Amino acid sequence: MSIKTALSRLQQIPEIQSRYNVFTYVNERASSQLESIDKNTTADKPLNYTLAAIKDNIATKNMPSTCASKILDGYMSPFDATVVSLLLEAGTVIAGKANMDEFGMGSAGIHSHFGPTFNPLFDHKDRVIAGGSSSGSAAAVASGVVDFALGTDTGGSVRLPASYTSTFGFKPSYGRLSRHGVISYAQSLDTVGVFANDLSMIDRVFSLLDKHDKKDPTSLSEELRHKFTSLTTKRKTLRIGIPEEFSQESVPAEFRAAMTAIIKRLMKKGHEVYPVSIPSVKNALSIYYTLSPAEAVSNLSRYDGVRYGYRAESDVEDGTLFTPTRSAFGPEVQNRIILGNYNLCSESFKNNYIKAQKLRVQLINDFDRAFRFPNVLSGNSVNKDGVDIMLSLTSTSFPTTYDEVVSEENKNPLNTYINDIFTMPMSLCGLPTMTVPAGHAFGIQVFSQHGNDYELLDACSEIDALVNS
Amino acid sequence: MLLALRRKAIHGIRFSSGKCGQNLSGSTIGPKFTSDKEVEEFLSKSTWDVREYVPSSVDEKLIPSEETVVRLLKISGLPIKNIDQIQIRLANQLSFINRLHNLPVDENINPNHARIIERNPTPLDYEGLIKGIASQQKSDSLGEISGSWDPTKTAAVKRDGFFILREGLLKGRD
């Protein structure tokens, strides 16, 4: 990393921004911040001269944090998120806040108060989507204006845009990276993730952020982290599972061909590959769309205009408090709030919410029985004949154009909900999962048991080498 | 033929997911692939189609009443408008999530285990709690700074620790 490279990246931002709408806020002081490192540095910091984009739902003290929503227009957090503090201490300069689907709700990157983000792999005139919800983070990395980006992944929001933009997108185990300062969408699923164009950068950033944080009640304790380390093994021969439920006839032939080629190469290298069946994966979408809107309702109830961001002229409409202010939520956010409240109503609570919770536990248990790395959190018995990692596709299709997505959504919003079918099961179980680019605008997912992040990273290096061989 | 044999083998070592041994779902691992052809055949088939989840038309039985939608909008703090559109959208969403109703589940499962946290943490005891309270410190980075925020700032009427909010907090209310 050099200051020359970093400054040259910064110079490209205005053009990239005008074409692809990557940022919600560009840090105009980034050049001077880089230059001040040069003058003041007495000791080398691990991420000196690196530039990062930070998703706009991660709090930053010196830049607005809006979740790409009108309701948080101009909001300045009084503190930095823990992950941001750690990056700044390590010498990173933040190039700007990255565009996103409002509050993380979307898989195409089109539901933003700041307008849609487009995919830098394509001509901007084609208006191809970058995927969401971490659309700007993926696009910032794909366009080369930053070294890495932070996103958040609730149901696939790091991995899907990584696939569409041919970047690496890593969602670590739930609880590995601090959520303190991450503006919640669905707190039982929200996970900070990392985008980069190469695995070594993902590794560097992840290792730096992988720390217990007492400010985050769901942060994995030091004791648990020690257990994970003691259980991690460097294996020459991996047992690799291919879950059959992640196979869909509708996927493009190129996707299937790439998966087949990678598996064949892994077998040739001596790894053992097994068919796996986890039928409960089919329930993931229904579980996710029951639980996540219900959690979102609670998290978004605080936006009344009194304490944060935008506030309407009046506080009452039709006898309901704060409706004029809350009308500022975008249509997709409003849809999910209504659905969440429906799921929490007494009539549907037992049928929907509790049932979904139980099915989520069942899904976790089913994955526990497929992996040989133990699930330290569940304490379920270990399957010594289980697999070490699993492979699947990340997306069901290539990214389409903005107009096509809007048209599909208008026909039926569920058409875009099913885009996340390959990513949601791992979110519900908190599994570490990486999208590894496997071709132009598509990638494969490599995932492992909760806590087994470092063995997963090693496996991804080998798979990446095979993809490029 | 090969795939059928493989599938038989997969089901031969099914693990149950429920503690009581009900075959509710479970995961299975089949025998190792031994040839490229087996891999190709396995990947060329799919056992289900996610597009089946998207209804081709709205199920009228699932359309919530206008009264229900108005109630949902009120508790959501959202404007009472576009009710027809919301009814259709909600019916579509419900067709999607109501699939859960017919799925078998082990009733002994503790729904609290759905959170990705330790299922059986060491319980807190009285001494531990007291120690924790004694060692608690204010954190500037959490905004725990005495006098930094006056929640009654906007109250014009306050006395002896009590206050009435008549303006400022709620605008435009009769």
Q: pLDDT tens-digit profile of A98-152?
A: 999 999 999 999 999 999 999 999 999 999 999 999 999 999 999 999 999 999 9
Q: At what angle do helices A284-300 and A331-344 cross, to 10 degrees?
A: 100
Instruction: Give domain status of residue A237, yes or no.
Output: no
Instruction: Give domain status of residue A290, yes or no.
Output: no
Per-residue pLDDT tens over the stretch B107-158: 999 999 999 999 999 888 999 999 989 988 888 877 777 777 666 666 667 7
Say yes or no to pLDDT of A358 above 50: yes
Residue B167 — pLDDT band, cuts 50, 70, 90? low
- Virtual torsion, Cα A450, A263, B46, A435, nearest 10 deg: 50
Please tell me the total number of residues recorded for chain A in this structure. 469
Q: Point out which residues pair with A151 in neighbouring strands.
A: A193
As a whole number of angstroms, the distance between CA A267 and CA A284 comes to 30
Q: For position A8, which CATH number holds?
A: 3.90.1300.10
Q: Supply the pLDDT for residue A42.
A: 55
Alpha helices by DSSP H, chain B: 2-12, 36-44, 66-76, 83-97, 126-134
Q: Supply the pLDDT for residue B136.
A: 86
Of the candidates B59, B64, B65, which has an alpha carbon nearest to the alpha carbon of residue B99? B59
Question: Smallest CA–CA separation between B129 and chain A, in Å?
Answer: 16
A192 secondary structure, DSSP code: E
Q: Supply the pLDDT for residue A75.
A: 92
Q: Supply the pLDDT for residue B23.
A: 40
Q: Which of B64, B77, B97 sits opposite A321 (nearest CB)?
A: B77
**φ, ψ at A9 (rounded to 5°):** -60, -45
Per-residue pLDDT tens over the stretch A36-90: 886 666 568 999 999 999 999 999 999 999 999 999 998 999 899 999 999 999 9
Q: Which residue of B has its CA nearest to A376?
A: B118
Residue B56 — pLDDT band, cuts 50, 70, 90? confident
pLDDT, mean of residues B48-62: 85
Percentage above 90 pLDDT, chain A: 86
Q: Supply the pLDDT for residue B21.
A: 35
Say yes or no to pLDDT of B12 above 70: no
Determine if the peptide bond prior to B139 is cis (ω within 30°): no
Instruction: Give domain status of residue A7, yes or no.
Output: yes
The answer to whether A225 touches A213, Cβ cutoff 8 Å, is no
Interface test with B, best of A245, A341, A450 (most B CBs within 10 A): A341
Instruction: Give domain status of residue A180, yes or no.
Output: yes
Segment 330-359 of chain A within 8 Å of chain B by CB = 334-335, 337-339, 341-343, 345, 351-352, 354-359
Contacts of A397 in chain B (CB under 8 A): none
pLDDT higher for A340 or B20? A340
Instruction: Give domain status of residue A434, yes or no.
Output: no
Residue B165 — pLDDT band, cuts 50, 70, 90? low
Say yes or no to pLDDT of A387 above 80: yes
Contacts of B48 in chain A (CB under 8 A): 245, 282
Asked if B105's CB is within 8 angstroms of A358's CB, the reply is yes
Q: What range does the domain containing A113 cover?
A: 3-226
Contacts of A361 in chain B (CB under 8 A): 109-111, 113-114
Instruction: Give domain status of residue A35, yes or no.
Output: yes
Looking at every residue in chain A, the average pLDDT score rounds to 95
Per-residue pLDDT tens over the stretch A321-342: 899 999 999 999 999 999 999 9
Percentage above 70 pLDDT, chain B: 74
Question: How many domains are there within chain A?
Answer: 1
Asked if B55's CB is within 8 angstroms of A414's CB, the reply is yes
Q: Give me the residue spans of the domains in chain B.
A: 11-48, 54-104
Asked if A274's CB is within 8 angstroms of B31's CB, the reply is yes
Contacts of B44 in chain A (CB under 8 A): 256
Say yes or no to pLDDT of B60 above 80: yes
pLDDT, mean of residues A351-357: 90
What is the number of CB-based contacts under 8 A between chain A and chain B?
A: 254
Q: Please say if A277 is a catalytic residue.
A: no
Instruction: Give domain status of residue A16, yes or no.
Output: yes
Say yes or no to pLDDT of A264 above 90: yes
Per-residue pLDDT tens over the stretch B62-91: 999 999 999 999 999 999 999 999 999 999
Residue B162 — pLDDT band, cuts 50, 70, 90? confident
The active-site residue, picked from A157, A166, A178, A392, is A157
Q: Please say if A133 is a catalytic residue.
A: yes
| Max avg pLDDT among A43-47, A368-372, B15-19, B120-124 | A368-372
The active-site residue, picked from A65, A77, A107, A133, is A133
Say yes or no to pLDDT of A293 above 90: yes
Per-residue pLDDT tens over the stretch A170-212: 999 999 999 999 999 999 999 999 999 999 999 999 999 999 9
